[in-house]
Structure 1
C-alpha cells in the first residue's frame, strides 16, 4: 500500500533482497533516547573558582544552543522533560522515579518557615500579577483530596486497578480528570488504549496531547501483526515513535515496498540514537539491509557527538579501514597521550586522508596543542559539502574557536574569513556564526557595510527575545558607525522592545532611556475561564503533588499563546511558593513574546538571612541565584556545586571561616538561608577583589578569578577608559561565561526594579561604560 503523501525520503543504492522475509516482530521497547528536544539556553553556569574551570581550549560541555534561547522543555517519550541544556546543569529538572514510570520527580521544597519567604516578600510576590486566578472551588471536599492522593500514590507504582478503586469514588469531575491524567502518565500501557483514546478525545486542548498520541501509537502498533493493518493505521501520517517507524518499515518491506521500507530503515539507523538493546535488535532484524555507507554515516555522526562506544560499534560494521578511522577520531576525543593519538592517526589508510571527519579531528588536535596555523590550514582543506560534513554545527564550533584565537593573535582578517565561511546548519548556529562575522567586521575591520550584511542574515532567523535584541543592537551599532543615525535609532528601538534582555537594556540606554519598564498582562483568566489543564495544575499543587503538577505547568507555558491564561498559571505557582516553577513558566512565556516579564523574575525563593560583612546586595544575590540554580535549594551539579548559589564545599568553607561563621557541608543543601548567606558573602568578597566591577565579578564567579586575570591581560581592563566593556564581554573566550555574564547583568537590572530599589536603567553604570563608546 503506497502513501505518497507521507513524503518519506528516497534513497540511492537501495539493496533489494529477492525473496527477503521479514523477521519476527521486534519486541516493543520504550524509545528512551528519542530526544525531541529544542534546547532553551546555554548551560546553567558551573561556578569556577567554585567549580572546576572550563577546559583550557575554551570548549564547554553544553548542548547545541542558541544564545540561551530556544523554546525548550519538550516532553520526551519516556515521560521526562528535556531541559536546557541536555548536558550537565547546575539545576537539573529532576530525577526519574525509581519505579521506571519516567515521570519527573521534582526536588522537594523546604517546608520550614526559615526556608520560605519573609511575609513581606510573599505579600509583594502575590501582587506581581493582576488580581484573579481563583483557587479551587470550595465544592471539592477534603475527602476527595484525600482519596485522590491515595489513588495517585498507587498510580505512581503502576498499580492501576487498585488506584482506580479509589479514583472512582472521587465526586469532583475536575479532580477525577487530574487523577486520570496521573494514571495515564505513570502507567499508559496498564491503563490501556481505551482510556488513552478517551482522554485525548475529551481533552483535545491539553498541551500534552502529542505525548499521549505517541503512547497510543506505541501500544496500538504493538498489538498489530498484519502489515496491511500497520500501514492502514498510519494512513498518510508519519510515525512519531521509534516503535512506529520500525513497524512501518517492516510492513512496507513485507508488502514489497522495498524502496520505501529500506530507505526508512537506513534513515533510522543513520539518524537516531538507541539503547544498546535496541541497537542489537535492529541489527538482528534489519542488518542485511544496511551497507557500509550507512554504518560509516552513523559512526561519523556519533563521533561528532563524542558518543565513542556506539560509534566504534557502527564503524566496525563498516569495515576494517573505517574502524581504524573511527579509532583515530576516538583517540583525539579522549585526549590521551600525544604519542598514542599520533599513532592512531598515522594508522588511518591513505585513501581516507581527506575524510572530513578525520580532518575535523586533526583540526581539534592541532588547536588544542596551540598549533593554530596548522589548524587553519586544515580548515581550509576541509570539504564544505553539508552532506559530507554531517554536522555543520560542530564544524562551526571549531571555526569559532579558531577565529577567536586568530583575534587574540592579531589577525582579524583571518578570523573574519573563518567565520564568514561557516557551514553552520541549525538556525541558532547560523545566527551565532553570522553574528561573529558581523561583529569582527565592525569592531576589528571597521567595515560597517560588511557587518550589516551579516547582521541582517542573523536577524532574518532570530526569534527569541535575547537573540533578536542582540542582533538588532549590533545592527544599530553598524548603522551608527556608518553615519546612519536614523537607521541606528530604528534598530535600537527594535532591540529595546526586549527590556529584560541584556542587549535590549543596552539599546534603551543608547536611546537615552533611563528607566526600565516591564511588561505585564492586561488581564488574567479567572475561575472556569482558565483552561482545564491549568485548573488541574492547581488541584495537583493543592494536594501536594508538586512533582506531577510542575511538568504539566511547564508544558502549558511552553505551548499556550494567551497572556491571560499563562498569567493565571503563574499565579497558581506563585501562591504555591514555587519560585523555580514560576521562573520557568515566565521564561517560556517571555521567550514566545508573552507579556509576563515580572513572572520570569520572582522576588521570592531565597529565604531571609542575616547578611555578613560586606555581602552583595539582595538584587545581585537574586541575579546570581536565578542563573545558577533557578531557585532550586537542593540542586547539586556534577561538579559538586550545591544549593541556591551553587557553592562548592571548599569555597563555602573558606568564606565562612574568614567571617567567623560555623560551617557544615550539609547545610549547603539543607539550609537555603545559610547557602544564600555564604553565597552573598562570597560575592561581596569578589566585588571587593575586582574593585567594584560587576563584569569581572560575574565572570570570576563563573570561571574563576585566575581566568579573569588572564582575560584582562589579553583584552584590557574593562574598568579603564579605552576598553569597550561590551566588546570585552563578547571577547570572553568561553561561551558559557560570555552568556553567563550577559544573563546576570540583565537579571540585575530587572531585580533592582522588582525590589523597588530603583526604576533607573543602570546598565551603563554597571558596565562602567562611557556613553558613545
Structure 2
C-alpha cells in the first residue's frame, strides 16, 4: 500500500486536522475546522433532533437523522451509521477520522478498505495513543503504517517494539524518502546487515535500481555479489552476464536471484529458459522477500508450462511451493493473497501429478492444499482429492483416512462425495440444540454495535444496507452461543439470510454449523424441483427476498428482468417487475420454471443446467466443446466441474448441488423414498 510520499520535513510538521465526524472533507485551503466544543454541541443537537441547520449543512447522501425518541444507544449507532456512509464515499479523509470510527465500530462492513485508507493517510505526528489503539487488534500492512507505529511505540517508551516495527518499515514496500531518512537517522546504528539485505531485496523486487544501488554497500558480504548481479540484470546492464556467472551457483539457494534471473530471461524473450530455471530443484537459504509475489511468478509459469503441454515442467514448478517459507510455517495464518496462490499451486501440482501417474506424490500435495486455507471447503476438497490420489496409488488405508476427514463436512460438496466413498449417508441437519445461552451472553450480544445497527436499519426500512450488516455480523461471530443468538435474531427481524450467512461464515472460518436453522424452506409445491430450487435460492440470495445484484438480478432466485418477463410469457401469466422482490412465491415460480427449461435443454444434466443458470447457456456449450461432454460414458464429471474456467461458476455449481443434497433430506415430497445422493445430481453411476 503506497504511503504518502513526503520529501520535505516542513510538509509534515503539522499533521492534517481531523474533521468532526459528519463533516465534508476540507477544501484545499484547509476548510472549516470545528472545535471539540462545537462538535459536542452538534452531536447533542443531532441526538435531540433540533439540529436542522447543522444536519443540512453537514449531511451526506444517505444521511439518516436520529430521532428525539431514540434511545441514547440507538442514537449513537445512528450517528456512527452516518459516519460509515461518509467515510465509504472517499479514501481521502484524515487518519484520525478513520481511526476514531474503526476503533469504536470494529467489524462493520467495508472495514478492510477503511483500514487501508486510514493507514495510507497516516502522517508523522499522529497522536500515539490513537495509533496504538488502531493497531491493537490488527498489525500494520504497509511501510507507512509500520513507520507510524514505530513512532508511536517510541513515544510511549516501548523502544524494543519500536525497533522491531522500524525494521518492518525498512523492509516494507514503497517507503517514502522522508521516512527512509528519519528511520535510518534514528535506528540505523541498530540495524544489522540482514536488515539492509531485506531492504535491498525489496527495492530490487520493486525495480527501484537507484535506491537499491544506494544501499548496496550496507548489505552483508555474503549476499552483496548476488545483489550486484541482480541489479545488473534489472538494469539490463551489458555486464549483467559477466556479473551473474560468478554467483550462478547461488540461484537455487537465493530466491531473489532466481526470480530476477527468470524475469531477465522473460524480458529477453526466453520464456522457455525462464520456466526451465524455475523448475530446477531448489532449497532457499535466502527466502523471497515477498512470498505472494514469488508464488505469483511460479503460478504464472506453471500455467504457461501447462499451456505448452509440458506437464512435467508444470509439475516441477508448482510442487516446490514450500521452499518460499520457513519450515513449519502454517500457511493458513498468512494473508489471503498468499493462501490463495499457495492453494492454487498445490491444486495445479496435485492434479498434474495425477495425470502424470505420480499419484503417491499427489497425496501429500493435496494434503497441503487442504491445510493451506482457512475454510472448510478447502479442507474438504484437499482431503477428498488426497483420498482419490491414495486410492490411485493403492494406499487404501490412507485413502480411507483422507475420505474420513472430508466426510466430517456433510454439508459440503466434497464431504458428500467422501461419505459416498465410505458408504455412509448424509445426515439430516439437526434442530439446533437448546444451548444454554446465559443472560450475560444474551445481553452482551444485543449490546453489540453491529447488532444494534442491524435492528436500526431494519426499523428504518433500509434493507439493502441492513443486508451488508447482516453479513458483517455473521462474519464476526466466534462462539456457538453467538451463532445461536444470531439465528434467533434472524427470526426476530425476518432476515432468513442471517441464519444462512451464520452457517456460511462459520465454515469459512473453519467451524461447522450444520443446523436446521441454516436451511430455510419455502412454500413450494413442485416435488420434482423442490430440492434443487431450494439449493439455488440458498446460493443466489441466501433467502433474502429483496436481494438486488449489481447487474440487476432480483429477488430470491436472482432473476434478470428480461429472463423473468420471458418466463412469465411462457407460463401465460402477467409480468410484474415489482413482485420479483416483494413476492417470493412469484419469484420462485418463475425461477424454478426457468431452471426446468435449462434442465430439459441439457438433457437432464444438473451440473450443466446449474452452470447455465449462473453463466449462461452459451458459455456452457463452449466449455463442453473445449473440455468434453460430462454426460458421456466414462466422463469424470467431478474433474469436469473443476475445469470450469470461471471460478465463480465452478464454486456456484458445487454450492448449489451440495445445498440440494441437504435439502433432499428435508424434502417433504420424498417420503417414503430415500433422499438422493450427490452422485445422482452429478449423473454418476458410481458413488463418490
CA distance in 1, matches of 2:127, 2:73: 36
CA displacement, residues 387-411 of structure 1 (integer Å, 9 cap, x when unaligned): 37862343355246436545xx5x5
CA deviation after TM superposition for structure 1 residue 381, in Å: 5.1
Structure 1 pair 529–539 and aligned structure 2 pair: CA distance change class (3 A): farther
Matching residue of 1:483: 394
Structure 1 pair 451–519 and aligned structure 2 pair: CA distance change class (3 A): farther
CA distance in 2, matches of 1:700, 1:706: 8
Residues 66, 75 of structure 2: 8 Å contact kept: no
Which of 377, 380, 403 aligns to 1:466? It is: 377
Matching residue of 1:688: 600
Q: Which moved more, 1:503-512 or 1:622-631?
A: 622-631
CA displacement, residues 338-362 of structure 1 (integer Å, 9 cap, x when unaligned): xxxxxxxxxx974499996997799
Matching residue of 2:174: 270
Matching residue of 2:223: none
CA RMSD of aligned residues (A): 5.8
CA distance in 1, matches of 2:667, 2:546: 25
Secondary structure of 2:12's aligned partner? coil
Structure 1 pair 24–480 and aligned structure 2 pair: CA distance change class (3 A): same
- Where in structure 2 are the equivalents of 1:230-241 lying within 5 Å? none
Which of 6, 15, 18 aligns to 1:26? It is: 15
Matching residue of 1:331: none
- Where in structure 2 are the equivalents of 1:446-595 lying within 5 Å? 446-519=357-430, 521-525=432-436, 528-536=439-447, 537=451, 541=455, 544=459, 554=471, 557-592=474-509, 594-595=511-512
Residues 107, 472 of structure 2: 8 Å contact kept: yes
Q: Which moved more, 1:151-160 or 1:624-633?
A: 151-160
- Where in structure 2 are the equivalents of 1:234-249 lying within 5 Å? 247-248=148-149
CA displacement, residues 81-102 of structure 1 (integer Å, 9 cap, x when unaligned): xxxxxxxxxxxxxxxx9999xx
CA deviation after TM superposition for structure 1 residue 236, in Å: 10
- Where in structure 2 are the equivalents of 1:230-379 lying within 5 Å? 247-248=148-149, 270=174, 350-351=236-237, 377-379=273-275
CA deviation after TM superposition for structure 1 residue 429, in Å: 2.9
Residues 552, 560 of structure 2: 8 Å contact kept: yes
Aligned pair 1:701/2:603, yes or no? no
CA deviation after TM superposition for structure 1 residue 763, in Å: 0.6
CA deviation after TM superposition for structure 1 residue 500, in Å: 0.6
Residues 487, 517 of structure 2: 8 Å contact kept: no
CA deviation after TM superposition for structure 1 residue 438, in Å: 1.8
CA deviation after TM superposition for structure 1 residue 378, in Å: 4.5
Residues 431, 517 of structure 2: 8 Å contact kept: no
Structure 1 pair 254–583 and aligned structure 2 pair: CA distance change class (3 A): closer
CA distance in 2, matches of 1:621, 1:99: 47
Which of 640, 654, 677 aligns to 1:762? It is: 677
CA deviation after TM superposition for structure 1 residue 731, in Å: 2.4
CA distance in 2, matches of 1:364, 1:695: 42
Residues 476, 490 of structure 1: 8 Å contact kept: yes
CA distance in 2, matches of 1:592, 1:766: 28
CA deviation after TM superposition for structure 1 residue 506, in Å: 0.3
CA distance in 1, matches of 2:77, 2:621: 54
Which of 300, 304, 315 aligns to 1:402? It is: 304
Secondary structure of 1:391's aligned partner? helix
Give the structure-1-normalised TM-score: 0.57
CA deviation after TM superposition for structure 1 residue 417, in Å: 3.0
Residues 151, 163 of structure 1: 8 Å contact kept: no
Residues 441, 448 of structure 1: 8 Å contact kept: yes
Give the gaps of 5 or more residues in structure 2: 1-6, 26-45, 88-95, 185-197, 213-233, 241-256, 325-336
Higher relative contact order (CA 8 A, sep 6+): 1
Which of 294, 304, 310 aligns to 1:392? It is: 294
Give the gaps of 5 or more residues in structure 1: 1-16, 31-77, 79-96, 101-146, 171-175, 272-281, 302-313, 320-347, 367-373
Aligned length: 560
The structure with the largest helix share of the pair is 2
Which of the two has higher C-alpha Rg? 2
Matching residue of 1:420: 319
Secondary structure of 1:535's aligned partner? helix
Secondary structure of 2:174's aligned partner? helix
CA deviation after TM superposition for structure 1 residue 569, in Å: 1.7
Residues 434, 458 of structure 1: 8 Å contact kept: yes
